Amino acid sequence: MAVPTTLMDIQNSENFRTNEEPKFRSRVNKIKVGRIDLGEVTPHNIKLLRRLNQVIFPVSYNDKFYKDVLEAGELAKLAYYNDIVVGAVCCRYDTSDNSRRLYIMTLGCLAPYRRLGIGSQMVEHVLKIAELDDALDSIFLHVQVNNDGAIDFYKKFGFEIVETKEHYYKRIEPADAHVLQKTLKKGRKSQKSGEDQ
Ligand code: ACO
């Protein structure tokens, strides 16, 4: 198969069409894992982000979402596997509930590239941002109640189900969402500088 080189090639490629997730990836396969990089979202690749999100998520995101993402800096990243765009993470700050939290709006990767550590790399990026911001109380996100894979994935990083919102989604079934949250330790910076002394 020809190597995809243009945006259209990539969008039309098998990776974007198949929604089949690898059921089992052996240790041997993981050892052969390719290079994972995270890159900026820019006006030049925002269409690719839009296409990725359309393929990965059952929910669609509006123009404002993508306009805000372009201003989000480190809070939005594309994930590359051997230089091919295969996933993305988009976050924003949330200051409701009298607290400053980081909200993961979307985090996902194309089905054929799952269980290769790409999602973990994106979460670790988010955790690193949170680690550097002492004013943040927690990181949270919504996930459809039947998305067991994603729930297991986030639990690995210390997220817990703190609430279940009925009828959270308008156009998909099941409509209920769990709120997954990871509480950040207070005084992270001072703890760190204490350790360094
Ligand atoms: N079932 C059980 N455990 C899982 C699963 C799964 N489907 N996926 C990941 N994990 C756990 C495993 O412990 C895995 O380690 P292992 O492969 O050594 O067993 C570990 O998480 C790390 O997995 P990664 O390879 O880093 O994760 P991946 O790149 O596959 O991404 C993700 C996980 C993002 C959930 C992916 O399945 C995906 O894109 N799903 C579709 C979109 C989605 O549901 N996103 C999340 C909800 S929405 C939101 O985040 C706001």
pLDDT in tens, 145-187: 999 999 999 999 999 999 999 999 999 999 999 999 999 986 6
Ligand 1 centroid from CA 119, angstroms = 6
Which one, of 75, 124, 65, lies nearest residue 101 by Cα?
A: 75
Find out whether 142 and 168 touch, Cβ atoms under 8 Å. yes
List, in order, residues 6 or more apart from 118 with CB less than 8 Å away: 36, 79, 81, 86, 87, 109
Percent of the residues in the chain that have a pLDDT greater than 90, as a whole number: 75
- Closest CA to ligand 1's atom 18: 115
Here the tokens at position 166 are 């009925």
Pocket of ligand 1 (CB under 6 A): 56, 104, 106-109, 114-120, 141, 143, 147, 149-150, 152-153, 156
Q: φ and ψ at 141, to 5 degrees?
A: -160, 165
Which one, of 179, 188, 90, lies nearest residue 137 by Cα?
A: 188
pLDDT score at 173: 96
- In residues, how long is the chain? 197
Task: Name the more confident of 87 and 19.
Answer: 87
Q: Mean pLDDT in the chain?
A: 88
pLDDT score at 185: 81
pLDDT score at 98: 87
**Pair type for strands 177-183 and 138-144:** antiparallel
pTM of the model: 0.88
pLDDT score at 29: 57
- Closest CA to ligand 1's atom 9: 153
Q: Could you give the CA distance from residue 174 to residue 163 in angstroms, rounded to a whole number? A: 16
Provide mean pLDDT across the span 109-138: 96
Residue type (1 letter), 41: V
pLDDT at 2 over 50: no
Express each pLDDT in 24-61 by its tens digit. 565 555 555 799 999 999 999 999 999 999 999 999 99
pLDDT at 17 over 80: no
Find out whether 91 and 46 touch, Cβ atoms under 8 Å. no
Find out whether 145 and 174 touch, Cβ atoms under 8 Å. yes
- Cis amide linkage into residue 174, ω under 30° from 0: yes
